[in-house]
Chains A and B, each alone.
Chain A
């Protein structure tokens, strides 16, 4: 022990550290970014569909039929803690405060809880998975149980999910949950089982005012791209650079 060690110590340490550092550097050169970020990406083939979604806040009347239909179509538990889509009522008062509510996700409808004279502005905002193409939830999954399909839909492989809940933490939009019976992650699938057979999603099917649009972002003449052209569309939390493909018309600044 003692003095012999001291002479070796610094040399050995520096040598080991140098080897380790050059190894990391080299592997970084080989595949710098893809290894650690942006686990989802834009598809290359413009002839294949690339699914996106549009919501027109001016048209939403907060009837909650979409949230209800989604739960019926996809067998989501009816308790008020598990939603693939839900509707929020925003009431901006004259004093500037913002009240947001979503009783049972809007499935049972909404009441006006603030008297007319105090309201500056009020509107409904439907929420759901944004099917991000730079999805933070796909990035966070430790085993590869959630992914972006080649046609742009973020899906869960429920035979592979271990239920670690990291994806639920990573989603900025609060659209994921753990299914209480299956114990795996669950979320809006854009009714993948319907859209891949030419039908539309359950939520779009039942919306009485056509406030919701599901469509192909690669189809330049399709309804979704027309919607984007004709309206001023924004996405939620753009500063997080999630590549959200859920475009809102008339998204007001208070909405989170």
Chain B
């Protein structure tokens, strides 16, 4: 064998062996168990913190509100749809409070008239016409929207 190969072949063999050793040390635990990924990551992805509690959690304390909700057209909506993530409040009811949206524009997110919305799916109102300047909840109880408050006088029919 020529002297070049007598030096180069062991040198490269050495490189490959060192690489394989380093690789063995560096490949993370559980890699490859179920596919080309670190299997422990599946469990880790389950550990993320939750922020939404779910309607049943709200019902545990606020059963009056959920009863109101169930009696009218907003029955299919979750509390957190409007009030935001509630798990922190569920765990610490006194120190952490939820948002209580009051502005017209918030109700408009669902109800503002828009040709992309189907009337049979959602009632719509033209916010530029209907009782401008007032907040929707001054007349409509958000948990029982058709239980209008006494002084309400709609200027325009739907």
Query: Which residues on A are within 8 Å of B, measured CB to CB?
Result: 39, 58-59, 61-65, 69, 72-74, 89-91, 109-112, 114, 116, 119, 122-124, 144-150, 155, 157, 159-160, 189, 192-194, 196-197, 199-200, 202, 205-210
Task: Return the chain A residue nearest B84 by Cβ.
Answer: A72
Stretch at the interface among B10-18, B109-117, B141-149: B109-117
Q: Given A72-B84, A110-B114, A208-B77, do A144 and B38 touch, yes or no (CB 8 Å)?
A: yes
Whether the Cβ atoms of B115 and A58 lie closer than 8 Å is: no
Give a binary string over B112-134; 1 marks a CB under 8 Å from any A CB, 0 the rest. Answer: 11111110011000000000000
Cα A147 to Cα B39 with chains together (Å): 9
B116 touches A58 (CB 8 A): no
Q: Does B152 reach chain A (CB closer than 8 Å)? A: no
Which residues of B are found within 8 Å of A61, using beta-carbon distances? Answer: 110, 117-118, 121-122
Cβ contact within 8 Å between A89 and B116: yes
Chain B residues whose C-beta falls within 8 Å of the C-beta of A160 in the assembled complex = 28, 37-38, 41
Interface residue range, chain B: 35 or more
Contact yes or no, B37 A146, CB < 8 A: yes
Interface string of B21-51 (1 = CB under 8 A from A): 0000000100100111110011011111111
B93 contacts partner chain A, Cβ-Cβ < 8 Å: no
Name the residue in A91, A147, A197 with the highest tally of chain B Cβ atoms < 10 Å from its Cβ: A147
Residues of B participating in the A interface, judged by any CB pair closer than 8 Å? 28, 31, 34-38, 41-42, 44-52, 54-55, 74, 76-78, 80-81, 84-85, 105, 108-110, 112-118, 121-122
B116 touches A124 (CB 8 A): yes
Would B121 and A155 count as touching, CB distance under 8 A? no
Task: Judge whether B45 and A72 touch: CB under 8 Å.
Answer: no
In the complex, besides A110-B116, A145-B37, 19 extra interface pairs with C-beta distance below 8 angstroms are A61-B118, A62-B116, A69-B52, A69-B85, A74-B48, A109-B109, A122-B115, A147-B36, A148-B35, A157-B37, A157-B44, A159-B44, A160-B38, A193-B50, A197-B46, A199-B50, A200-B54, A208-B77, A208-B78
Question: A178 vs B86: C-alpha distance in the bound complex, in angstroms?
Answer: 28
Set of chain A residues within 8 Å of B117, measured between Cβ atoms: 61-62, 124
